[in-house]
Structure 1
């Protein structure tokens, strides 16, 4: 096992890993919230960005690029519009970060007990990352759905509060309403997290020479590269997940009011390709990559630093 892999997996007690993961998720989410809102708006936009008649085929705004989308949101919804959905998102990121790193640590320790049957380091990292991603996604998915729905709201609010959204979804859509698009999320997160952790732990030792630079540059750089590569590979599933999350009785009430009705992952992808072409599966990819880089860099840097501080001060050290 590589030195980087052992560093991430074996240091820290379970409580320290949970706390460090939660801190990493909280700080990362707040920093990239505006980019997340922009990404969701672009993913839900079905018309061509280059269509000069786009305003005639939709009741919603026409967004063209990251900066112009930000300006449009601030102009029509105020600066707070860039943080729509931040409360459920913060809750999701804290829980997700804690669950992800706990599952990752537990899985790698379980695999280490296999002795001669222990898989190679790269396979072990992939399996651990995939299991961690799947567990964390399933546990936090309702919060992910709420984050998307709040971010998709325009000046006319669909839900007036987090509590109201929970009650309304339960009343009109039932428990399944909280898990719309979950199959796409799991299908996306398993290869994403597997690829992310495999790439991260492969790059981290090589980039450790940068650790002499300020703020742990090696950890951050490895996180950036790993996230960009993994995100590009699974982006179509992320887009489909967002489209499925806004299905239901409120589908025509969001900022984009012409979102088609989708019923499943494969059907959604087929409809998107047929009506919008392959490019339709990659709407918002640019801002997604812009978001993924700082998000992963902040997450991994904060996790490593927080875990180190917890260990140095012997905080939450009981196993």
Structure 2
């Protein structure tokens, strides 16, 4: 295989794309797990400067900033507290990566086969393919995402004793729909996010590859992934906060680390309630750590994906040459 990396949607067979996507998701999740827990804790924290709410007897916010949240979790819950929800999250990222890249490859190939004069080109193909891939992967792995959030929302008091126990409890007390609380916000978020991400990534990648300067974060692949991810995540972040608030609704809502999470129902009403009660700051709470998370996550994901594909193709070429 030459030193030039082919465009993402043209690399490897369907099976190789699935395998590389799964590997990329798994590695990425392990690296950013602590930042993910911090982000979720901040997003679930209900606090208004004009009307401070008491959480566990503390007037005002329990967590104050990224470093403050990190120190608090380490002090109260130990190092393992930063990896709460990691088992369902690893399963989610493993499945999500494979489904996402597979759906992206399939969608882009299908769109490029549209005959004239209806054919699509460039960014349009990347945007639609990315949005489709994100929606498919989000829906398929959503129950694991919900479980990840609920475990990350547990403080020193264990709400669920195990992954199996959480599944049984939700199925018994909330029914099948309990596993999909906030799915509307998830799909509403991921469609523009993945569309913007892949369109930006594939637009930036050739530009970065021709840069005369040495690039950090794994070169053109990693840096392009970081810039694309930061841009897309900032644009849709309020929907991410909405999704997290909806995911912890249900009979166990008052038992999570934040005891004062209000009752929400529906994406629009949740957005309106948060903005009215907490202001725009409430919708963007945890954005800083989310962007800090986005950079290594995107860089590791895309860098690992590209190398995994390259390795598989190299092995395949070696077998053919024998």
What SS does the aligned partner of 1:260 have? coil
Partners in 1 of 2:158 and 2:193 — Cα distance?
33
Between 234-243 and 266-275, report the one with greater CA deviation.
266-275
Stretch moving more, 116-125 or 132-141: 116-125
Q: Distance in 1 between matches of 2:312 and 2:31?
A: 22
Residues in 2 aligned to 1:43 and 1:271: alpha-carbon distance in whole angstroms: 14
Would you identify which runs of 4 or more consecutive aligned residues in structure 1 move more than 2 Å? 48-61, 209-216
Match of 1:269 in 2: 271
User: 2: distance between equivalents of 1:232 and 1:153?
Assistant: 26
Q: Secondary structure at the match of 2:205?
A: helix
Contact 2:9–2:105 at 8 Å: present in 1 too? Answer: yes
By how many angstroms is 1:55 displaced?
5.5
Matched residues in 1 for 2:131 and 2:56: separation?
43
CA 1:280–1:213 in structure 2 vs 1: closer, same or farther (change >3 Å)?
closer
Is residue 2:63 matched to residue 1:67? Answer: no
Q: For residues 139 and 56 of structure 1, do their structure 2 counterparts lie closer, same or farther at Cα, with a shift above 3 Å needed? A: closer
What is the alpha-carbon distance in structure 1 between the residues aligned to residue 221 and residue 256 of structure 2?
38
User: How far apart are the structure 1 equivalents of 2:234 and 2:217?
Assistant: 27
Matches within 5 A, 1:97-136: 97-116=97-116, 117-136=118-137
Number of aligned positions between the proteins: 314
What is the Cα deviation at residue 279 of structure 1? 1.5
| 1:194 aligned residue | 195
d(CA) in 2 for partners of 1:59 and 1:249?
25
| Cα pair 1:60 1:256 within 8 Å, conserved | no
Cα distance in structure 2, aligned partners of 1:60 and 1:82: 23
Q: Secondary structure at the match of 2:200?
A: helix
| Cα offset, 1:48, TM superposition | 3.6
Q: Distance in 2 between matches of 1:125 and 1:141?
A: 23
- Between the aligned partners of 2:264 and 2:5, the Cα distance in structure 1 is 41
